[in-house]
Amino acid sequence: MLRSFLYILFGVVTLVALLIFVLASKPVPKNITYGMSFNTPYARELGLDWRATYDAIINDLEVRHFRLAAHWPMVEPKSSIYNFEELDYQIRRAEEVGASVILAVGRRLPRWPECHVPDWVKTLSAEEQQTVQLRYMTQVIERYKSSPAVVVWQVENEPFLEVFAYEHCGELDKDFLDKEIELVRSLDSTRQILITDSGNLGTWNGAYSRGDMFGTSVYVHFWNPELGQFRTVLPPWAYRVKDNFMSAIHGQKPSLLIELSAEPWLLEPITEVPVEIQFTRMNLEKFEDILSYAEGTRFESQYLWGAEWWY
């Protein structure tokens, strides 16, 4: 009986190992295309001149692939009163240097508190909030769909990551997410739609099945009060396994690392943390380790996260 059990166990382990080996197979890209996320509200939080910072990223770092975000409170600070000053400048500069832009729209967009809602919206009913959200998204799409710089629309940011920022975002309304995607597709059928999910915590299924493209995040270095600093236990090949598994289920789709974190992991607002502590959480050694880790995922397109902090 014991021998039979051991044979079965050995067979199962061998089969699982073989399956992982197959799913972990992914060609090593000849070249990795690096991009950068840029976030206007975050630049302001750091006390930076957002124009000067954005221009420096273009001119000094020579970044030519951007992910920008149309944060709702920035775009529509008052009902039906729209402000496109920041995005107009950023899109125009991208056009001038021949840069490409992934433009994110929706309620849940990059940076804390994850879900960004204008104050005037918070007093509306849930149904009314959805109506005005679709209106704001329509304004953004219509304004920038003629720009040659905008190459992809991102709808929401990691919408299935409900365990993070739940107090600000609540439960995901999947039907409404589908309605957002349908709206963007109806307004501009010429561009692909990107849906993202967390690399560490997401299953990827909901996001991968909905978009034309899939993007995920990579966080390598962490900190918390109990453990202090620690490095992810997730190996780079795990990203290849998940990506290949999703493509086997839903069909092959372009996939990219949309959020490769290269800034300190903090639990407090960054402006309240001494610079010395920030540099223990992120430095050149960690940065090089992050790039090496990301290379191991074998994703061809990788967008770094944290350039505002670099300046």
> pLDDT at position 16, please?
64
pTM score of the predicted model:
0.94
Q: 181 lies in which domain range?
A: 2-310
Residue 139 is part of a domain; what is its CATH number? 3.20.20.80
Could you tell me which of 241, 283, 238 has the C-alpha nearest to residue 263?
A: 283
With contact defined as beta carbons under 8 Å apart, do 207 and 250 qualify? no
Going residue by residue through the chain (311 aa), what tens digit of pLDDT does each one get?
A: 766 766 666 666 666 665 676 677 899 999 999 999 999 999 999 999 999 999 999 999 999 999 999 999 999 999 999 999 999 999 999 999 999 999 999 999 999 999 999 999 999 999 999 999 999 999 999 999 999 999 999 999 999 999 889 999 999 999 999 999 999 999 999 999 999 999 999 999 999 999 999 999 999 999 999 999 999 999 999 999 999 999 999 999 999 999 999 999 999 999 999 999 999 999 999 999 999 999 999 999 999 999 999 99
Count of domains observed in the chain = 1
> pLDDT at position 23, please?
73
